[in-house]
Structure 1
Amino acid sequence: MISRRNFLRTAAGLSLAGAATGLYTWQIEPYWLEFVHRKLPIVNLPETLRGKTLVQISDMHVGDRFDYQYILDSFVETQKLNPEIVVYTGDFVSYDGPEQLTQLRNVMANAALGSVATVAILGNHDYGRNWREAGVDESISKVLKDSGITVLRNTTADVKGLNIIGVDDLWGTNFDPTTALANYQPEAANLVLCHNPDVCDLDVWNGYQGWILSGHTHGGQCKPPFLPPPLLPVENERYTAGHFDLGDGRDLYINRALGCSFPVRFNVRPEITVFELSKAAV
């Protein structure tokens, strides 16, 4: 039978462990950025882009919910990599009101930019409250354009022979994948940016073959060791984070997010993805 003294010692130990875990998930892991390095093999990639660096930044969630100095610091570290291409895959803000536009303007004045090109798509939070607030998407697009970033809204950018297709967000008011994927050029090098990976399961892809870079899930933000995350904002709960071979000539990569809607993470560190471009075998 456990003694009262041992019981109190055990209870105190558990309380301390719980407090330490809470502190870690709130104050440490949300700001413990990981630069994930991967190859990105692309069919028909021009010789001039082989070996170049493409950086993916996703889900910054600039707003009042955490200190965005962390975002600014991450831009400084990213710029040290001298990336040729930087892509932003949506959710620039956690929008509560017009003050987020001012905050985003201050942050993006120091944005990580590619020496060749910087392109972006919008995420659901970039459409304001309930993803339906009129004008927020245009205002955020203007902030990005003023910061030297090309915003793709179901449109395409030709980056030294790499055809980057940007799909507007699935939950937003401008989702039009048919128009976006009409820009697919099978004979060219192609890359799709699509914030919400659930779009991968829709019949909209126009025969597309190649990589899709997404975000949105944050990897679930909190994940028990060796188990899937209990909460994901997607219908297809297979889409957590990392690489997924979709089995039809498409490959999906889901970035775990730089920021977060609320600063709580466990076993899912924030991520900036650093891709080395290479030519894929046909």
Structure 2
Amino acid sequence: MAITRRVFLKNMLKSVVGFLGVSGLSYYYARYIEPEMLTIKRYPLLHTKIPDSFQGFTILQFSDTHLGFHYDIQSFERLVNTIQKQSPDVIVFTGDLVDAPHTYYFHPELVRLLDKLEAPFGKYWIYGNHDHGGYGTEKIKEVMGNGGFQLLQNEHHRIQKEGTEIVLAGLDDMMLGSPDIESALYNTSEELYTILLVHEPDSADRYHAYPVDVQLSGHSHGGQIQLPGFGYLVTPPMAEKYVEGHYALDSLDLFVSRGIGTTRLPYRFLCRPEMSIFHLEPEKV
């Protein structure tokens, strides 16, 4: 099958970047500076199904730390301190805690730092593909659990406030797990505002027909390296269509985080790491 000039050039650039790192003066910036330039994205979530009691309620999402691949425990501690300063009502982690669980040294501080995170309405997480990879499934589950995070693996939790509630559901990883949307949403109601956590964003094409109002994903790293005129250079499978930011898909709002760490290539260029804070706002009919 013939390839277009744009695809050819994009593939060539990937090879060049991978072989040389990022050449010239850009190397130091992309390798050491931008990966530490954490940004905070804020999004309003407006919907008629959000109860009045949830006015101003905040959900903080962080994703894809990839500890062990040029992201160490000291960087993670700075991240935790930044999250704590935001005082979110709920914290969600959307996968890929460690880059390679089978070789990573699980520093004793990791559990302490996870446990340090506080959110009055709970802390929740889902598996990413790297969490299942390298025989890490049970180890990551142990670490996150000891850190006070509740796993949502094809299940949901009802967040209750002043006699009203919303639904927070989570799926197993799409690539290496066994996702089951039917189980995750079992015994929920279409009348309840429902947020779904799924690691891979392109899965939204499968789930927008379900009674889900918002999907929060990571996995893409925002492409990690973005070049004007060429776009995203590093997009993993199932994060090639929806790469970063907000996408409106019929009745589903998809939000894709660039995440925190890096993988495959230790660079970020024009693609700063980020965490997201969502502000719930009841919308009048």
Q: 1:177 aligns to what?
A: 181
Matched-pair identity in %: 30
Matched, 1:69 2:74: yes
TM-score, length of structure 1 as denominator length = 0.84
Q: 2:214 aligns to what?
A: 211
Q: 2:4 aligns to what?
A: none
Q: Bigger CA drift: 19-28 or 227-236?
A: 227-236
Answer whether contact 1:211 1:251 (CA < 8 A) is retained: yes
Q: 2:149 aligns to what?
A: 149
CA separation in 1, counterparts of 2:226 and 2:103?
33
Matched, 1:193 2:179: no
Please report how far the alpha carbon of residue 281 of structure 1 lies from its aligned counterpart in structure 2 after TM superposition: 4.8
Alignment of 1:233-272 (within 5 A): 233-235=236-238, 237-246=240-249, 248-261=250-263, 262-272=265-275
Answer whether contact 2:96 2:130 (CA < 8 A) is retained: yes
Which among 110, 114, 138 is matched to residue 113 of structure 2? 110
Unaligned runs of 5+ in 2: 1-21
CA separation in 2, counterparts of 1:32 and 1:183?
42
Secondary structure, aligned partner of 1:128: helix
Closer, same or farther: CA 206–215 of 1 in aligned 2, 3 Å: same
CA separation in 2, counterparts of 1:281 and 1:234?
39
CA separation in 1, counterparts of 2:101 and 2:239?
28
Which among 77, 81, 102 is matched to residue 86 of structure 2? 81
Closer, same or farther: CA 280–137 of 1 in aligned 2, 3 Å: farther
* Residue-by-residue CA offset, 1:234-277 (whole Å, 9 max, x unaligned): 3563311000011x201100000011124300000000111111
Closer, same or farther: CA 137–40 of 1 in aligned 2, 3 Å: same
Closer, same or farther: CA 125–243 of 1 in aligned 2, 3 Å: same
Q: 1:137 aligns to what?
A: 137
Q: 1:220 aligns to what?
A: 223
Closer, same or farther: CA 78–96 of 1 in aligned 2, 3 Å: closer
Runs of 4+ aligned structure 1 residues displaced above 4 Å come to none
* Residue-by-residue CA offset, 1:186-242 (whole Å, 9 max, x unaligned): 11121100100121122x566324110000000000001354203311356331100
Root mean square deviation, CA, Å: 2.1
The structure with more radius of gyration:
1
Answer whether contact 1:124 1:172 (CA < 8 A) is retained: yes
Q: 1:7 aligns to what?
A: none
Letter in 1 for 2:147: S
Letter in 2 for 1:140: I
* Residue-by-residue CA offset, 1:134-159 (whole Å, 9 max, x unaligned): xx212211211111111100010111
Please report how far the alpha carbon of residue 45 of structure 1 lies from its aligned counterpart in structure 2 after TM superposition: 1.9
Matched, 1:229 2:232: yes
* Residue-by-residue CA offset, 1:105-137 (whole Å, 9 max, x unaligned): 5224213331221111110000123xxx3xx21
Closer, same or farther: CA 98–263 of 1 in aligned 2, 3 Å: closer
CA separation in 1, counterparts of 2:159 and 2:212?
18
Letter in 2 for 1:79: Q
Secondary structure, aligned partner of 2:33: helix
Answer whether contact 1:195 1:215 (CA < 8 A) is retained: yes
TM-score, length of structure 2 as denominator length = 0.83
Secondary structure, aligned partner of 2:279: strand
Q: 1:92 aligns to what?
A: 97
Matched length: 257
Answer whether contact 1:184 1:208 (CA < 8 A) is retained: no
